[in-house]
Structure 1
Amino acid sequence: MPPSVDHVRSVTEAYLARHPEERDSLTLLFAALVGTDAPTSRKTYPAHVTCSAILIDGDRRVLHIVHKASGKLLAPGGHNEPADRHLRDAALRELHEEAGIPPSAVVPLSGYEDVPLDIDVHTIDANPSKDEPTHHHVDFRWAFHLGAEHAVTLQEEEVDGYEWRPFPSAASPTVRAKLALLT
């Protein structure tokens, strides 16, 4: 069973307790939460929830992968699946699928076990081949430490490459700002 509306709402409120200044930026998420469609379904428009894994290694670097579809350097992540009971589960599944790093090799960032490091809303261009209009992803970005050395093994169908970037070079400005606050 995918993450429930109540789960998405409670995670969002816990996040906003830390970042109340971001409430207005999540208007599309709140609209999805009161809609009739599941907010985690990839067919919910104009916005739906996605999840990413911000994976931090022992050298304070963040894993980025190159997505074939966009050519962009991003954190491993994507759409929720029916078997993802919680939002964090989706991030862990995507990390394993795209980078070959299993959940057993990571630990949640201390203090972020049940709260994402970041929630970002961004536009996704229309994709006529998938019958998808322009829409928005509300990306819940979960932070993990690489707890055990583990090689990155890329999912060749979706991923072209990867790199570890120091905190100040993280691709997302909002993640970069939040990582800068970590001691």
Structure 2
Amino acid sequence: MTNLTAFLDRLDSIVSRYLAEVAGPRERLALLRWQIAERHALDRRETMPGHATTSAFVLSPDHAQVLLIDHVVIGRWLQPGGHYEPAGSFHESALREAVEETGVTTPVLHPWHRGGDLPFAIDSHEVPGNPRRNEPPHIHHDLQYLFIADPALPLVAQEEEVHAAAWKPIAALAEIAPVAFARLRSLSPSG
């Protein structure tokens, strides 16, 4: 079994489980499912019309705050994340991005995940092209995971990709990630 086959089989299993157990009635993920069925190399950023990314909603223990980054290329505040990089699980890829981009220390996977790799949300969205990388506008199939961290600990933004990293009120997610925000409102801090 090739690395791509193993990756796509794992992604297909997670997407199917997400659609059966988590997704709302309007979440169909048609393009992502089509690309998986067509065996596109979704683990490579060159794959068009879209490819896999992972991101992290790092919450304060009381769920009042979320850690966001001021993204250099996109020019707005977003949750930390990036193109999928090989990892033992998708949430480990998201965690690595959060730590790299913000310097957040000791984040832990949120109890909602029950230690597993089921995404809290999957958001397929269009992103602008990046002329520096000769990339046209394309789709990010973003597997989103929840983490908990202490907002009192210092942050260090990764200056190549991030202007700043800061804790913001959880309501900031309403515009950034409406599906995840709506789902978060139903959680209690104890999970």
What's the TM-score bracket when you normalise by the shorter of the two chains?
0.7 to 0.9
* Partner residue in 1 for 2:121: 118
**2:49 alignment partner, one of 46, 49, 59:** 46
State whether structure 2 residue 22 is matched by structure 1 residue 10: no
* Partner residue in 2 for 1:30: 33
Q: Runs of 5+ in structure 1 lacking a partner?
A: none
Matching residue's letter, 2:134:
D
- After superposition, the C-alpha distances for 1:6-38 in whole angstroms (9 at most, x for unaligned) are 1111221222122252442x1111122122432
Matching residue's letter, 1:62:
V
State whether structure 2 residue 99 is matched by structure 1 residue 101: no
Mapped partners of 1:54, 1:141: distance in 2 = 7
**1:74 alignment partner, one of 56, 72, 78:** 78
- RMSD of aligned Cα (Å): 2.1
Mapped partners of 2:40, 2:107: distance in 1 = 32
**1:178 alignment partner, one of 173, 183, 186:** 183
**2:134 alignment partner, one of 106, 131, 134:** 131
How far off its partner does 1:149 sit?
5.5
TM-score under structure 2 normalisation? 0.84
Percent of aligned pairs sharing the same letter: 33
Verify the 8 A CA contact 2:69 2:162 in the aligned structure 1: yes
Q: Runs of 5+ in structure 2 lacking a partner?
A: none
Q: Secondary structure at the match of 1:111?
A: helix
TM-score under structure 1 normalisation? 0.88
Matching residue's letter, 2:142:
D
Q: Secondary structure at the match of 2:97?
A: helix
- After superposition, the C-alpha distances for 1:60-101 in whole angstroms (9 at most, x for unaligned) are 2111110111111000000012x3232112101101110112
Verify the 8 A CA contact 2:74 2:128 in the aligned structure 1: no
How far off its partner does 1:148 sit?
8.8
